[in-house]
């Protein structure tokens, strides 16, 4: 959290990233500059936000003003890579972002392998966070390259996934089709001593027509036949988890996130599945910051129907509605596709696009920060006056 020392009205800027253009911390800086251009005496609090997907680790590290720690591990195809994690200033909360080790961007240089991609690297990162002595682990789920039901994460934490003959199954969704039991004797000694919180931005179940394989598998290279195979493999995996832990995961809302990772972590570690935007809002101190706010500016690349269904603008709006000050919430976005009536119904006063009219994509990307500043200045003047 970064605040200016102004004596004027308190304005909170709490945006998501503009994917492909600016990170959340840079969007927040641009919006803050616009607020101060309009009201130089304003006290501006910058809180970069995220919804649990890619960029959440960076947003939390920026809000907490802590470094990101590097770890040598493997990507979703088992190749050497470097992933990152962070801890809160008091060292109590550790943050793991699945996309850092097991995300699609890291394997974009080769043909996608939907049956073999895995999350073992994320398990390595989680183990390092546990070694650091944290009491709570936030796992940010989004941007996954795999559909392995979280088996890889468990493997990285010391669990052995065995077939009917007692042999370890291969990594990836293909291995789940042979899974028969779990050997938990090697589980990290602190894995069940901490609180696990899973930040997700979807509510899909593990299997079926709305499940991990059917909805998200094609994004990871799964062909129709692969989708059927993976869905059946996840169903088998759910049976193993439920039999071994007596925890029902098959229909758990959000269990289909990140290729089914929540299923394994809920069953084996007692993790809770939470709306990512709400979890991040709590972690960065958004409710406290809003207590005396006169205006809140949030934003994301595209403000559309999904934005008011658990994304950052929705989380910010709900936090503002619950605060004593009940400040107006304004969205600044790359494009605005949601009708004004739907935005107001979600607690958002207004939404403004930074698109300046006909222009080239390159020009718009180059000028994103300046456009954010300009629009934020206009919005602030409009709501708070000169």
Write out pLDDT tens, residues 308-319: 888 899 999 999
- pLDDT tens digits along 51-73: 888 889 988 998 889 999 999 99
With CA atoms as reference, report the closest residue to 32 among 1, 56, 57.
1
Does position 210 have pLDDT exceeding 60, yes or no?
A: yes
CATH of 56-277, one of 3.30.420.10, 3.40.50.720, 3.30.160.270, 3.90.1510.10: 3.90.1510.10
Question: What average pLDDT does range 89-99 have in this prediction?
Answer: 96
Q: How many residues does the chain have?
A: 386
Rounded alpha-carbon distances, angstroms, from residue 39 to 218, 343, 376, 378, 380: 48, 26, 11, 10, 7
Does position 261 have pLDDT exceeding 60, yes or no?
A: yes
- pTM, 2 dp: 0.86
| SS3 call for 254 | coil
Residue given tokens 């098959």 in the structure block: 250
Q: Quick one: pLDDT at residue 7?
A: 85
Element (H, E) at 234: helix 224-245
In this structure, the number of other CB atoms found within 10 A of the CB of residue 148 comes to 36
Measured at the alpha carbon of residue 123, what is the angle toward residues 118 and 125, in degrees to the nearest 5? Answer: 120
Q: Quick one: pLDDT at residue 355?
A: 78
> With contact defined as beta carbons under 8 Å apart, do 295 and 380 qualify?
yes
> With contact defined as beta carbons under 8 Å apart, do 259 and 215 qualify?
no
Q: Work out the mean pLDDT of the chain and round it to a whole number.
A: 92
Rounded alpha-carbon distances, angstroms, from residue 114 to 78, 79, 80, 107, 313: 13, 15, 19, 11, 32
Does position 212 have pLDDT exceeding 70, yes or no?
A: yes
Element (H, E) at 199: strand 195-200
Superfamily of domain 2-47+285-384: Glycerate kinase; domain 1 (3.40.50.10350)
In this structure, the number of other CB atoms found within 10 A of the CB of residue 109 comes to 8
Query: Half-sphere exposure of 336 toward its Cβ, with a 13 Å CA cutoff?
Result: 21
Question: What average pLDDT does range 7-34 have in this prediction?
Answer: 91
In Å, the largest CA–CA distance within the chain is 74
Rounded alpha-carbon distances, angstroms, from residue 133 to 53, 128, 267, 276, 341: 24, 9, 22, 23, 48
Residue given tokens 């994690």 in the structure block: 85
The domains of the chain are located at 2-47+285-384, 56-277
Q: How confident is the model at residue 359 (pLDDT cuts 50, 70, 90)?
A: very low
Q: What share of the chain is helix, strand, coil (3-state, %, to 5)?
A: 40, 20, 40
Q: Quick one: pLDDT at residue 298?
A: 96
**Residue 184 structure tokens:** 């938990």
Q: Name the pairing type of β-strands 160-162 and 181-183.
A: antiparallel
- CA 313 – CA 366 distance, rounded (Å): 24
> With contact defined as beta carbons under 8 Å apart, do 258 and 292 qualify?
no
| SS3 call for 331 | strand
């Amino acid at each position: 959290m970064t605040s200016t020392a102004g004596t004027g009205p308190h304005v909170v800027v709490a945006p998501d990233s503009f994917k492909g253009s600016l990170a959340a911390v840079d969007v927040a800086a641009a919006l803050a500059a616009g607020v101060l251009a309009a009201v130089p005496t304003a006290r501006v609090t910058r809180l970069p936000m995220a919804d649990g997907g890619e960029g959440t680790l960076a947003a939390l590290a920026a809000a907490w003003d802590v470094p990101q720690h590097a770890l040598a591990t493997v990507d979703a195809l088992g190749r050497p890579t470097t992933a990152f994690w962070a801890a809160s200033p008091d060292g109590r909360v550790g943050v793991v972002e699945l996309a850092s080790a097991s995300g699609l961007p890291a394997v974009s240089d080769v043909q996608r392998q939907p049956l073999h991609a895995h999350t073992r690297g994320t398990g390595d990162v989680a183990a390092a966070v546990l070694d650091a002595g944290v009491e709570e682990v936030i796992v940010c789920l989004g941007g996954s390259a795999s559909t392995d039901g979280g088996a890889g994460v468990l493997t990285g934490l010391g669990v052995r996934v065995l077939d009917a003959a007692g042999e370890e199954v291969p990594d990836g969704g293909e291995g789940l089709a042979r899974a028969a039991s779990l050997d938990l004797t090697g589980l990290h000694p602190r894995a069940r001593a901490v609180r696990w919180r899973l930040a997700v931005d979807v509510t899909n179940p593990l299997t079926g027509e709305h499940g991990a394989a059917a909805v998200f598998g094609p994004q990871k290279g799964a062909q129709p036949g692969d989708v059927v195979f993976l869905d059946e493999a996840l169903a088998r995996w759910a049976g193993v988890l439920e039999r071994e832990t007596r925890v029902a995961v098959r229909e758990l809302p959000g269990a289909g996130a990140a290729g089914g990772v929540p299923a394994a972590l809920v069953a084996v570690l007692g993790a809770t599945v939470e709306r990512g935007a709400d979890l991040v809002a709590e972690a960065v101190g958004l409710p406290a910051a809003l207590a005396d706010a006169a205006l809140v500016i949030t934003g994301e690349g595209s403000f559309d129907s999904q934005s008011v269904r658990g994304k950052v603008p929705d989380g910010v709006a709900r936090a503002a509605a619950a605060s004593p000050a009940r400040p107006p919430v304004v969205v600044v976005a790359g494009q605005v596709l949601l009708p004004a009536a739907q935005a107001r119904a979600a607690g958002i006063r207004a939404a403004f696009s930074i698109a300046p009219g006909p222009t080239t994509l390159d020009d718009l990307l180059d000028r994103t920060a300046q456009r954010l500043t300009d629009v934020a200045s206009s919005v602030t003047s409009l709501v708070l006056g000169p």
